[in-house]
């Protein structure tokens, strides 16, 4: 039979769930067993914000040297250029997303900016 510890809380900072095993609540204990880290899995909002700032900062730095979008994506660990482009659009940075367009999209975008392309 398991020991019950009603007065102990999970060992992960900010988690208010009851202690279950290994110093953690059930959810964090399962993450520890599965990933080797009790905080693995869904990132916190702070971690997402830090990652966003890092990625945007790196892209801006690479942009100053004229590095291609494909190389930037590879350096940041993304396998698809489209993934970076979509992230930048979601983050409200279409100015940086422009670096990650293929030539056909770039031509369409330039025509659209010039007013030559009409959407039916």
42-73 confidence digits (pLDDT tens): 777 888 899 899 999 999 998 888 888 888 88
Cα atoms in the 13 Å half-sphere on the side-chain side of 2: 7
Q: Domain limits of the chain?
A: 1-42, 45-114
For the residues of the chain, what is the DSSP string, one character each? -PPP-TT-B-SSTT--SBP-BTTB-HHHHHHHHHHS-TT-SSPPHHHHHHHHHHHHHHHHHHHHTT--HHHHHHHTT-S-HHHHHHHHHHTT-HHHHGGG--HHHHHHHHHHHHT-----
pLDDT at 120 over 80: no
pLDDT of res. 94: 87
Question: Do residues 69 and 101 make contact, with C-beta atoms less than 8 angstroms apart?
Answer: yes
Sequence-ordered list of residues with C-beta below 8 angstroms from that of 100, at least 6 positions apart, any chain: 69, 70, 72, 73, 81, 82, 84, 85, 88
Does 1 score more than 70 pLDDT? no
pLDDT (tens digit, 9 = 90+) per residue, 59-118?
A: 999 888 888 888 888 888 888 888 888 899 899 998 888 888 755 555 655 666 666 555
């Amino acid at each position: 039979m398991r020991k019950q510890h009603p007065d102990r809380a999970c060992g992960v900072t900010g988690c208010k769930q009851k202690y279950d095993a290994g110093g953690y609540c059930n959810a964090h204990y399962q993450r520890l067993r599965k990933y080797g880290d009790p905080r693995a899995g869904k990132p916190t909002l702070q971690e997402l914000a830090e990652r966003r700032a890092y990625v945007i900062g790196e892209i801006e730095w690479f942009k100053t040297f004229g590095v291609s979008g494909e190389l930037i994506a590879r350096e940041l660990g993304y396998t698809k250029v489209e993934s970076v482009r979509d992230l930048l659009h979601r983050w409200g940075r279409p100015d940086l997303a422009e670096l990650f367009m293929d030539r056909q999209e770039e031509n369409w975008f330039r025509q659209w900016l010039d007013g030559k392309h009409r959407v039916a």
